[in-house]
Amino acid sequence: MADRPTLKPWIEAIHAYVPGKSKAADGRPLVKLSANENPLGCSPKVIETLAGGHEPNLYPDPDATQLREAIGALHGIDPARIVCGTGSGECLHGAVQAFAGPGDEVLFSLYSFSLYPLLAHKVGAEVVLAEDADYAPDVDNMLAAVTGRTRVVLLDNPNNPIGTFLPRAEVERLHAGLPKDVLLVVDQAYAEFLPEGEDDGGMDLAARHDNVLVTRTFAKAYGIAGERVGWATGAPHLIDALNRLRGAFNVTASGQRAALAALSDQDFVAKSRDANAAARARFVDQIAALGNHGLRALPSEANFVLVVFEGDLAATTALDAIAEAGYAVRHLPRQGLPQALRVTVGTPEQMDAIAAVLRDLCGVSA
C-alpha cells in the first residue's frame, strides 16, 4: 500500500504548461514579446467599463447570458449554440475530456499549440502527431494519421507557433475526410488578425455538422488576456457536453463585462489587425534581408512571426542577444523547434529593435 495518494500515470507524465518569459536569467524585466499579447492594449471602452466597478460579493451570471447574446449577434450564431469559458483553453479542455480517454487518440499537426498534448494527457489519451509540410499543418498528412482510435482532431488556424493559415477549402477537405464520430476542433484564437473577409469556414462547418466545434478567445486581438474569457460554438450536443464540464460561475463578472465592452468596439479590433499586419510585414521583410545568413521568417497570419535559424547563427545565441537588448521572445525546444524563435509582433519600434539585434549578429549594417 502506498504511503500517500498516487498520481494516475498519465497525469504524472505531464509537463506543466510553460508561459512566455518576461525576465532575463539575472532577473531583469524584459519587454515581453513571448506571449502574443496585444501591444495596443485593449479598447478604451474596456478600461472605462472595468473602472466602473462591480459587487465582488455576488456571483457572476453562470451562463454569461448577455455575453453569449452579444457574441451571437456579432457572428450570426444562436446564443444557445455558444458556451463561454475561462479562456478558450477551458473549452478546449472540455472538448477533449468529453470525447477522448484511455485507449483513444487525439490528433494534431506536429507543430501545434503547446496546450494540445496536455489536453490529451490529462484524460489518458494518446497523442498522435501528423507530419508537417515545411512546418505547417498538412491535410493529407493529418488524414493519413487517422485511425480507428482517433476521437478528436485539433486544428489551430492560424497555427501557433508557426503562424500559417489553412484556407476554407483545405479545412473543408479535412472535415470531409474524417469519420463522422471524430470531433474536429477548429481553434481560431488568432482569427481576428486575418485580412478582412478572410475566413477558414470553421463557423459554417460548426453550424451545419454535428462533429465540429470552433473556439475563440478575447486574449489576442481584443487585448483582455488578463480577464481570461473565451468561447466555443457547435451543435447543441457539443455545447451541452462543454456545459457539463466547465466550472460553475467560470467567467468572472469583470471578465463578462470586459468582453461585452470589447465586443462593442470593433474599430479597436480593426485597428489591432491593421497595426499588426503592417508591423509584421515590415519585420518579415527585415528577416528576408538576412536570408543569406540562414534566417527565414515563416509565413504568418497571426500576431507573431516564427524565425527559423538555418545557418551558422544559432537560435540560442540570438535568444541571449535579444534578452541582453531587453526583450523576451519565445524559444520552443520542447515543441521540437530548437532552431527557431517565435517573436510576438509588438510596436514598430520594438520589432525594429529585434531586427537590429539580428542584423548585428549577422554582421550586416542597417
> What is the model's pLDDT at position 26?
78
pLDDT in tens, 184-242: 999 999 999 999 999 999 999 999 999 999 999 999 999 999 999 999 999 999 999 99
Which of 265, 299, 319 is the last residue in one of the domains?
Answer: 265
pLDDT in tens, 274-283: 999 999 999 9
Examine the domain organization and report whether 88 and 34 are in the same domain: no
Side-chain half-sphere exposure of 316, counting CA atoms within 13 A: 2
Examine the domain organization and report whether 308 and 175 are in the same domain: no
Q: What is the CATH number of the domain that holds 25?
A: 3.90.1150.10
Examine the domain organization and report whether 258 and 172 are in the same domain: yes
Look at residue 15 and tell me whether its pLDDT is greater than 80. Answer: no
User: Is residue 158 reached through a cis peptide bond, with omega within 30 degrees of 0 on the bond before it?
Assistant: yes
Q: What is the rounded CA–CA span in Å between residue 83 and residue 253?
A: 16
Examine the domain organization and report whether 229 and 332 are in the same domain: no
Look at residue 53 and tell me whether its pLDDT is greater than 80. Answer: no
Examine the domain organization and report whether 272 and 329 are in the same domain: yes
Q: If you average pLDDT over residues 314-324, what whole number do you get?
A: 96
Examine the domain organization and report whether 260 and 353 are in the same domain: no
Task: Band the pLDDT of 25: cuts 50, 70, 90.
Answer: confident
More confident residue, 366 or 105: 105
DSSP type of residue 339:
E
- In the predicted model, what is the mean pLDDT of the chain? 94
Domain count, the chain: 2
User: Does 4 map to a domain?
Assistant: no
Q: What is the CATH number of the domain that holds 115?
A: 3.40.640.10
pLDDT in tens, 107-117: 999 999 999 99
Look at residue 13 and tell me whether its pLDDT is greater than 80. Answer: no
> What is the model's pLDDT at position 216?
98
Q: Which three cell numbers stand for residue 65?
A: 447570458
- Give the percent of the chain with pLDDT over 70: 100
DSSP type of residue 276:
H
Examine the domain organization and report whether 75 and 220 are in the same domain: yes
Under a CB-based contact definition with an 8 Å cutoff, are residues 124 and 101 in contact?
Answer: yes
> What is the model's pLDDT at position 4?
86
Q: Give the residue numbers spanning the domain of 282.
A: 9-41+267-362
Under a CB-based contact definition with an 8 Å cutoff, are residues 342 and 305 in contact?
Answer: yes
User: Does 247 map to a domain?
Assistant: yes
Examine the domain organization and report whether 224 and 290 are in the same domain: no
Examine the domain organization and report whether 237 and 133 are in the same domain: yes
> What is the model's pLDDT at position 7?
78
Which of 216, 239, 265 is the last residue in one of the domains?
Answer: 265
Task: Band the pLDDT of 293: cuts 50, 70, 90.
Answer: very high
Under a CB-based contact definition with an 8 Å cutoff, are residues 166 and 137 in contact?
Answer: yes
Angle at 65 between CA 62 and CA 66, to 5 degrees: 130
